[in-house]
Chains A and B, each alone.
Chain A
Amino acid sequence: MKRILVGIKRVVDYNVRIRVKPDNTGVVTDGVKLSINPFDEIALEEALRLKERGAADEVVVVSIGPADVQAQLRTALAMGADRALLVATDAPVEPLDAAKLLLKLVEREQPFLVLLGKQAIDDDNNQTGQMLAALWDRPQATFASKVEIAGDALRVTREVDAGLETVEVDLPAVVTTDLRLNEPRYVKLPEIIKAKKKPLETLDPAALGVAPRERVKALRYEAPAVRSRGVRVKDVAELVAQLESRGLI
């Protein structure tokens, strides 16, 4: 069975205006729209396309989070994933422990490819894929904007600071997705109904032999500094005068 494992993290939807709690203990998440991390949606879309092209037989999605992350996993199943795994925990899980849990699932599921988002838009850590690849002792191809199967290897175009880089990695491997890899499909209503019958297995982190712990303490959340109010100019002449008076030209 040629299997792809895809990570799905639930995050505050990217359209939500983030507010820091008045007591500085976190950001407001009550009553706020929660969605699949956009990069993970891209990872799932890529896995589905690889399956549709015949490069994979099965797409398994996995999430680590509270029991109600089931909702996002059902969405992933409706998009086309074959089955879902939920590692249920209410405690926040740091990237290192997420990677350790994913490694356990990799050992169980034996995927030839693990596709993860390059970062989650809540913590913006950009770590889990690289950590999993290290623990698994397999290649990593991060920030992917194009993925092609080349025999037993994968040819990946990466978005790096200087432009585009192409790497070839032997399989199995970990790939993390960038925004321009693809545009995820929309879920159709009949698929949502069908997805209710797809298998979703709940797992306990302890049973997987990993006890997530807090290594990095979150001490205080603050709103970012706001820029002081700017000026409006009425035309280009005024703009040039402003730039001149500030010594910018």
Chain B
Amino acid sequence: MNKVLLIAEHDGRHLNPATAKTVSCAAALGDVEITIAVFGRDLAAVGAEAAALAGATRVQLFDDAGFAPPLAAVLAPAIAAQAPQYTHVFAPSTTFGKDLLPRVAALLDVPAVSDIMAVESPRRFRRPIYAGNAILTVEVADAPMVVGTVRTASFDAAPATGSAAVEAMGVSAPAVAHSRVVSQAEAQQGRPDLQTARRVVSGGRALGSAEKFQLVQQLADVLGAAVGASRAAVDAGFASSDLQVGQTGKIIAPELYIALGFSGASQHLTGIKDARTIVAINKDGEAPIFESADIGLVGDIFELVPQLQAALQSRASR
């Protein structure tokens, strides 16, 4: 039997949707018992959300002020102490999971598998390499257990139809004085979250300035969509870093992705491989983005996007 220790990600109030997708990856191992470990402070609400995830066997709450806000240097030894009872330790391949799990693996003297996109067997996985330009099948051959991060865009969220038991663990956080969180990132309010949105409107270098990037935001507002950006747009200061999509940004899987003024670099495309429908608007008909677009429109975004916005608005008011 596979026994998975799955590290939940949350912001203190709600479970991050990446956790439900990680549960689906764990379930794909087959013949599995899934323990969701939640680290933090005042965990009743988050714990209840975790317990509702179908497929979870139990939820364990590690409630201690030392675990909030989460620091890899504090969580890793606590997770490593639990790990020997399990065959697998999984976390989402978000910045939280990527920061944490390699530290856990090293403490256990085992390798880590990053960005699991498919489970072939309990020790055999597929993962993207070279910015998604190749897919590698790996086998964890020489290690007592599997430690891995899950590429959440590859998995559907486990539904909230379960009712796992919740246990308070009474484990206190290891004393770590060398690392301190000075300020945490504030999740942007009022706009759908990029990683979970069904629709995303994204802007590339072509937008030209932070002011003109509002074109992207306005179209997103009409569609109730999240906003994304290319590295070029973020580097140039048109958009904030949390909006970057791609190899080194976010990996997303919306139903609709509208790419405005992107060339289609592979480092960007790897972030949207799992988007159901990709729409591209670019004035250069030869731009590589059109090779990956389901619907392509050649033309100037500064003319076409206002037209598209108007068309969508008039349709909505019909």
CB < 8 Å neighbour of B111 from A18, A142, A163, A216: A216
Q: Which of A118-134 contact B (CB under 8 A)?
A: 118-119, 121-134
In the bound complex, do residue A220 and residue B273 qualify as a contact, i.e. CB atoms below 8 Å apart?
no
CB < 8 Å neighbour of A143 from B99, B138, B234, B291: B99
In the bound complex, do residue A215 and residue B110 qualify as a contact, i.e. CB atoms below 8 Å apart?
yes
Q: Is B112 at the interface (CB under 8 A from chain A)?
A: yes
In the bound complex, do residue B294 and residue A231 qualify as a contact, i.e. CB atoms below 8 Å apart?
yes
**Chain B hits for A233, CB < 8 A:** 295-297
* Interface Cβ pair total, 8 Å cutoff: 249
- 1/0 contact string of A211-239 vs chain B (CB within 8 Å): 00111111111111001001111111111
Q: A218-B138, A230-B294 are in contact. Are A161 and B106 (CB under 8 A)?
A: no
Q: Is A240 at the interface (CB under 8 A from chain B)?
A: yes
**Chain B hits for A238, CB < 8 A:** 297
Q: Is B195 at the interface (CB under 8 A from chain A)?
A: yes
In the bound complex, do residue B235 and residue A131 qualify as a contact, i.e. CB atoms below 8 Å apart?
no
In the bound complex, do residue A95 and residue B98 qualify as a contact, i.e. CB atoms below 8 Å apart?
no
Q: Which of A2-58 contact B (CB under 8 A)?
A: 12, 14, 17-18, 20, 27
In the bound complex, do residue B106 and residue A135 qualify as a contact, i.e. CB atoms below 8 Å apart?
yes
* A76 CB to nearest chain B CB (Å): 21
Q: Which of B193-207 contact A (CB under 8 A)?
A: 195, 199
In the bound complex, do residue B182 and residue A166 qualify as a contact, i.e. CB atoms below 8 Å apart?
yes
Q: A159-B241, A242-B295 are in contact. Are A131 and B95 (CB under 8 A)?
A: no
Q: Is A70 at the interface (CB under 8 A from chain B)?
A: no
**Chain A hits for B86, CB < 8 A:** none
Q: How many residues of B contact A (CB 8 A)?
A: 89
**Chain A hits for B241, CB < 8 A:** 145, 159, 163-164, 178, 180
**Chain A hits for B66, CB < 8 A:** none
Q: Is A189 at the interface (CB under 8 A from chain B)?
A: no
**Chain B hits for A160, CB < 8 A:** 95-96, 185, 242
* B156 CB to nearest chain A CB (Å): 18
Q: Is B87 at the interface (CB under 8 A from chain A)?
A: no
Q: Is B298 at the interface (CB under 8 A from chain A)?
A: yes
* B112 and chain A: residue at smallest CB distance: A127
Q: A221-B135, A236-B304 are in contact. Are A155 and B185 (CB under 8 A)?
A: no
Interface range on chain A: under 10, 10 to 19, 20 to 34, or 35 or more?
35 or more
**Chain B hits for A223, CB < 8 A:** 133-135
Q: Is A169 at the interface (CB under 8 A from chain B)?
A: yes
Q: Is B231 at the interface (CB under 8 A from chain A)?
A: yes
Q: A169-B179, A215-B143 are in contact. Are A133 and B234 (CB under 8 A)?
A: no
- 1/0 contact string of B171-183 vs chain A (CB within 8 Å): 0000001111111
Q: A124-B115, A163-B186, A165-B181 are in contact. Are A216 and B141 (CB under 8 A)?
A: yes
Bound Cα distance from A140 to B183, whole angstroms: 16
* B281 CB to nearest chain A CB (Å): 8
- Of B113, B130, B187, chain A has the most CB atoms within 10 Å of the CB of B130
- Of A143, A161, A166, chain B has the most CB atoms within 10 Å of the CB of A161
Q: Is B267 at the interface (CB under 8 A from chain A)?
A: yes
In the bound complex, do residue A123 and residue B129 qualify as a contact, i.e. CB atoms below 8 Å apart?
yes
Bound Cα distance from A127 to B127, whole angstroms: 15
CB < 8 Å neighbour of B72 from A130, A159, A163: A130
Bound Cα distance from A85 to B271, whole angstroms: 35
Bound Cα distance from A248 to B94, whole angstroms: 27
* B9 CB to nearest chain A CB (Å): 9
In the bound complex, do residue B293 and residue A130 qualify as a contact, i.e. CB atoms below 8 Å apart?
no
* A246 and chain B: residue at smallest CB distance: B277
Bound Cα distance from A169 to B312, whole angstroms: 50
Q: A230-B294, A240-B315 are in contact. Are A133 and B73 (CB under 8 A)?
A: yes
**Chain A hits for B186, CB < 8 A:** 162-163
Q: Is B255 at the interface (CB under 8 A from chain A)?
A: yes
Q: Is A193 at the interface (CB under 8 A from chain B)?
A: no
In the bound complex, do residue B295 and residue A230 qualify as a contact, i.e. CB atoms below 8 Å apart?
yes
- Pairs across A and B, CB under 8 Å, 5 listed: A18-B133, A127-B105, A134-B103, A236-B304, A248-B277
| Other contacts beyond A139-B179, A224-B133, A243-B256: 4, CB < 8 A | A17-B266, A134-B76, A160-B95, A163-B186
The 5 A-B residue pairs whose C-beta atoms are closest, nearest first, are A163-B185, A18-B133, A130-B102, A134-B106, A162-B185
